[in-house]
Structure 1
Amino acid sequence: MSWLDNVRKKIPFIAKRDAPENLWHKCPGCAQMIFVKEYEENLSVCPRCNHHGRIGPDERFDQLFDNGVYTPLPTPEVREDPLKFRDTKKYVDRIKTARTATGEQDALINARGLIEGFRAVVGVQDFAFMGGSMGLAVGAAFVAGVEAAIADKCPYIIFTAAGGARMQEGILSLMQMPKTTVAIQKLHDAGLPYIVVMTDPTTGGVTASYAMLGDVQLAEPGALIGFAGQRVIEQTIREKLPEGFQRAEYLLDHGMLDMVVVRADLRRELARLIDYLAPQKKAA
């Protein structure tokens, strides 16, 4: 036995302390490591660079509704695999995987509640569910949200986050564009406002339909917003696009948005808009 083995034997063994694996969050914007607790307390916004992280419906509803109290709307049932689509995996298997990962039925979830005392129905698209892609289920949920807002005589507010239409549903996914447009017109016929908050990213067929039809268009800072991708546009026009192209601030400067609002101010700003566009007696 060597002298090194003797030394090792005399060193007391100290068990490795258990530490949670999710103690830190690496910001995609500045690459800094942030305590998860600090990050969550700051509404999933980086306290160093103000990068607004992507969040799901539950977190969004908790931040938005008074005291985090809200009632989720039932998710409409639709035909789940109308084209029997398969690429490297079956479409039905992809849906099951997304449901397991997010705990949600599909990419758009609605809830009703109060925003600073004002009634509102809010829909939130979750990019974590198959890229927030728009298919039959998203279209049906959007219409259900509008109908709930009409029944409650209050605005419908949609938080968009999507990579576009869901390719596994082919032309049926594109049919959701006119379907949601008709639903918005019904909301207007009832004299109720439709407010859009675009989050990162909002692209493709969603941008080409209900994301750009709001009475008021808001966005979170730095959100990617557009129809075609930047590389596709550059290859088409054979020109280099300007810095920050398709980001919320660029669209605001060029008249495509009304406001860019930081997450901490969204609740107050939405309440102000509801009070202006659809005055209603505050709930007791």
Structure 2
Amino acid sequence: MFNWVKTAMLMAAIMALFGIVGGMLGGQQGMLMALVFGGAMNVFSYWFSDKMVLKMYNAQEVDETSAPQFYNMVRELAQRANLPMPRVYIIDEHQPNAFATGRNPEHAAVAATTGILQLLSARELRGVMAHELAHVAHRDILISTISATMAGAISALANFAMFFGGRGSDGRPANPLATIAVALLAPLAASLIQMAISRAREYEADRGGAEISGDPDALADALGKIQMYAEGRIPMGPAEAHPETAQMMILNPLSAGGIKGLFSTHPPTEERIARLRALAR
């Protein structure tokens, strides 16, 4: 419950920040324009983000004929979670990782790399896919898509304000120093909020995945193994080319993954494992 409340507060904060940047850009008209712009981006993201990210990673859809063990594992977990059967994809990448996408449970997809299929035991892989299905059940894909879209839109508006100046509520040019400060600080604040949302949702997905699989230790063991290979030791080209998708993965796939604290899209792996071990006890 705490993580859900925290997520709601963070989502409200990023929307408020979006309005403030819009107001700095053009007063009341700028704020309205920003909200319309943000709404349009959210609608586009809601409908097309899954197709875009799967194409970015050259994900190949599989079924019970082409990947029977993996597909049947996902089907069994989806039934345990009372979810519709998602589309199942495999990504030809050596780095062990996995993610879920799709605008709602009825249009969801889960994907795993060939690296994670080779690295993990069946029990550990089951824990990972239960984690991804928990994201689907919690509609985290929509939440993360909206937060990422808002952060990107805030950066775009801030850059616009930097080059063309802002307007106050009376329509007069805004203080140039204030405009520069907003243009520099707003994207940073938006990114920090987005990362905080992502970390909160990962903890919830760990807990939900443990409930779906009935085996918290399996996911804990899997995270320990993945940690040894992810975060740049085995680079993932699509993630490096599209770093905005890093928050979708079960573990940060980027070579800069050693950055801690506020600047991480994922909670510390050690803390995630500790919480799962506590659940198992």
TM-score (norm. length: structure 1) = 0.28
Give the structure with the larger helix fraction.
Answer: 2
TM-score (norm. length: structure 2) = 0.29
When Rg is computed on C-alpha atoms for both structures, the one with the higher figure is 1
Give the structure with the larger strand fraction.
Answer: 1
- Larger RCO, structures 1/2 (Cα 8 Å, 6+ apart): 2
